[in-house]
C-alpha cells in the first residue's frame, strides 16, 4: 500500500518558549548560484536543508560544480563548468532554478534552461527576465520548450523592469557581475534577498552599487574569488512563527532575526493587538495573550507585508473576532488555502481577489497544502483549532520550513509527521489536490 505523509496537529493551546530562526531559503537559493561565477571555492554557511535548496544544489552539480556539506555549511567549487543546461527534471521542481541562467551566462556565455513548470498559485511567468536579458544584448530563443540564451559580447545596457521582480533582479545581478560590461537596473526589487546576493558578490570582488534600492549599477569585473558567507535570517519563517504565536494566543521569543526586515509585519501584528517587545538586538518577544482585533492586510513588495505571509496572516485572522480583509498585490490569486481553511470552519469569502474573513473558532479537519505558504497557513490554523488537523501535501512544507514539526513541538505544539495510507484520488481528495496536482512553486 502506498503511503502519504501528513502533519498531524492537535490544537494544543498557546505556543510558548524560544525559537531560533534559520537562514533564509529564498536567499540561500541564489547565493549558492553565485558559486558558478568563480573558479575558487565558495562556502555558504548555515544553509537550511530544504528540498528547494537540494534541487538548487543538484542543478549546480549538473553543471559541474562540486558540492559538499560540512555540517550546516555548503562548500561549492566551480573549478570548471561542464554543462550549461538545467534540465526539465530539475527546473520543473522549482521555478527559482530559472535564475541559474544568469550565472551560466556570466561564467560560460550560454545557458539552456527548461521552461519552469506549472504554478501552484496563478500565473508566474518569466517574461521580465527574458526582456531584461534582451536589453543587455543577450540573444534568447525558444527551442522546443527550452530557453536558450547566448551572450555575444559584454552585457551592457539599462534594464527597466515594468514592475519589480525578485528573481529577475537576481538573474541580472548574476549575469552582469562577471564580465566587461556596465549594467543598470531601474525598478529593481527591494527585497533583502537582493542586497544579500549583492553583498556576497561584492565580497567575491564584484562592483555592485545600490542593491536594496530601486536603482542598481553593476560594473562587471574580470574575475571573482572565493569567500565564506552567511545568508540573512529567514524573514518568512520568522513571520510564520509570529503568526503561529498570535493565532494560538501564545508568547514566543524569536531569536536570530533581522528586526529591520520585519517592520511591516510587526506593525500589522501590533495593530491587531499583539505585543512585540525587543529583548535583544536580534530577538523579539511576541506576546499575543491580550485582546486581539481584526485588521486588514494587503501583501505588497518589500518593505510591505510579504506575499509569502499573506496566507499565514489569513489563517491567523480567521481566529480573530471581527471582519478582516486580505488582498495580495504581488500574487493576486494566491488563495489555494482558502477552501482548506473553510473545511476547518473558517468563515471566509473570496470575491474578485479580495478575501473577507469573519474570525471565530476553528475546528480540526483533513486539509491539503497546495503550496509552501498555504502549508504554513494550514499549520498555523491547525495549532489554533479545536481537535485534530491533518495537513496533507507535506512535500510543499518541506520546501521551505526546516524541521517544522520538531520546532513547533519545542514551543509546546502537538505537531507530528505521520504516514497515512493513500486513498484513490476519486474518493476523498480535497478540491485543490485535483486542481493543482504536480506543480512547481518556490
| Residue whose CB is less far from ligand EPU, 76 or 441 | 441
| Residue whose CB is less far from ligand EPU, 110 or 191 | 191
Could you give the CA distance from residue 291 to residue 304 in angstroms, rounded to a whole number? 25
Return the residue nearest ligand EPU (CB atom). 167
| Residue whose CB is less far from ligand EPU, 163 or 431 | 163
Among the listed residues 28, 119, 189, 252, the single catalytic one is 119
Q: Is 120 a catalytic residue?
A: no
Q: Distance of CA 271 to CAs 49, 282, 292, 298, Å?
A: 35, 22, 9, 14
| Residue whose CB is less far from ligand EPU, 30 or 292 | 30
Locate 7 and state its grid cell: 502533519
CB neighbours of 292 closer than 8 A, spacing ≥ 6?
246, 249, 272, 273, 274, 320, 321
Given the rule CB under 6 A, which residues bind ligand EPU?
A: 26, 29, 95-96, 123-129, 163, 165-168, 189, 191, 306-308, 330-331, 372-373, 400, 441-442
Q: Could you tell me if 223 and 11 are in contact, meaning their C-beta atoms sit under 8 angstroms apart?
A: no
Q: Could you tell me if 151 and 105 are in contact, meaning their C-beta atoms sit under 8 angstroms apart?
A: yes
Least Cβ distance, residue 279 to ligand EPU (angstroms) = 27
Least Cβ distance, residue 418 to ligand EPU (angstroms) = 24
| Residue whose CB is less far from ligand EPU, 308 or 340 | 308
CB neighbours of 407 closer than 8 A, spacing ≥ 6?
19
Locate 287 and state its grid cell: 506576546
| Residue whose CB is less far from ligand EPU, 292 or 315 | 315
List active site positions.
119
Amino acid at each position: 500500500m502506498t503511503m502519504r505523509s501528513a502533519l498531524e496537529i492537535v490544537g494544543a493551546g498557546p505556543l510558548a518558549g524560544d525559537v531560533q530562526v534559520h537562514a533564509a531559503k529564498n536567499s540561500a537559493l541564489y547565493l549558492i548560484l553565485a558559486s558558478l561565477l568563480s573558479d575558487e571555492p565558495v562556502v555558504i554557511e548555515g544553509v537550511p536543508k530544504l528540498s528547494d535548496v537540494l534541487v538548487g544544489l543538484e542543478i549546480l552539480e549538473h553543471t559541474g560544480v562540486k558540492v559538499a556539506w560540512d555540517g550546516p555549511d555548503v562548500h561549492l567549487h566551480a573549478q570548471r563548468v561542464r554543462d550549461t543546461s538545467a534540465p526539465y527534471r530539475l527546473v520543473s521542481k522549482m521555478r527559482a532554478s530559472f535564475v541559474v541562467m544568469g550565472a551560466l551566462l556570466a561564467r560560460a556565455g550560454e545557458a539552456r534552461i527548461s521552461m519552469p513548470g506549472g504554478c501552484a498559485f496563478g500565473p508566474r511567468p518569466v517574461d521580465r527576465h527574458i526582456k531584461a536579458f534582451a536589453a543587455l544584448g543577450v540573444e534568447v530563443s525558444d527551442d522546443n520548450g527550452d530557453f536558450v540564451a547566448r551572450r555575444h559580447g559584454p552585457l551592457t545596457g539599462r534594464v527597466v523592469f515594468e514592475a519589480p521582480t525578485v528573481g529577475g533582479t537576481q538573474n541580472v545581478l548574476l549575469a552582469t557581475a562577471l564580465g566587461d560590461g556596465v549594467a543598470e537596473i531601474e525598478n529593481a526589487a527591494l527585497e533583502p534577498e537582493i542586497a544579500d546576493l549583492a553583498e556576497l558578490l561584492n565580497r567575491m570582488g564584484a562592483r555592485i552599487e545600490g542593491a536594496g534600492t530601486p536603482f542598481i549599477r553593476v560594473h562587471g569585473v574580470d574575475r571573482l574569488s572565493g569567500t565564506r558567507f552567511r545568508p540573512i535570517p529567514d524573514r518568512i519563517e520568522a513571520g510564520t512563527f509570529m503568526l503561529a504565536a498570535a493565532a494560538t494566543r501564545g508568547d514566543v521569543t524569536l531569536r536570530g532575526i533581522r528586526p529591520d526586515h520585519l517592520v511591516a509585519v510587526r506593525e500589522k501584528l501590533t495593530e491587531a493587538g499583539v505585543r512585540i517587545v525587543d529583548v535583544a538586538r536580534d530577538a523579539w518577544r511576541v506576546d499575543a495573550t491580550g485582546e486581539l482585533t481584526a485588521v486588514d492586510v494587503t501583501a505588497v513588495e518589500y518593505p510591505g507585508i510579504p506575499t509569502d505571509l499573506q496566507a499565514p496572516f489569513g489563517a491567523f485572522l480567521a481566529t480573530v473576532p471581527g471582519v478582516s480583509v486580505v488582498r495580495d498585490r504581488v500574487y493576486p490569486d494566491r488563495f489555494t488555502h482558502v477552501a482548506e481553511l473553510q473545511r476547518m470552519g473558517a468563515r471566509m469569502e473570496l470575491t474578485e481577489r479580495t478575501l473577507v474573513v469573519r474570525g471565530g473558532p476553528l475546528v480540526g479537519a483533513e486539509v491539503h497544502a497546495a503550496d509552501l505558504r498555504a502549508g504554513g497557513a494550514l499549520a498555523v490554523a491547525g495549532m489554533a483549532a479545536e481537535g485534530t488537523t491533518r495537513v496533507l501535501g507535506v512535500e510543499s512544507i518541506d520546501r521551505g520550513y526546516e524541521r517544522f514539526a520538531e520546532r513547533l513541538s519545542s514551543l509546546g505544539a502537538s505537531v507530528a509527521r505521520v504516514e497515512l495510507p493513500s486513498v484513490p484520488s476519486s474518493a476523498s481528495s480535497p478540491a485543490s489536490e485535483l486542481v493543482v496536482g504536480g506543480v512547481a512553486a518556490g
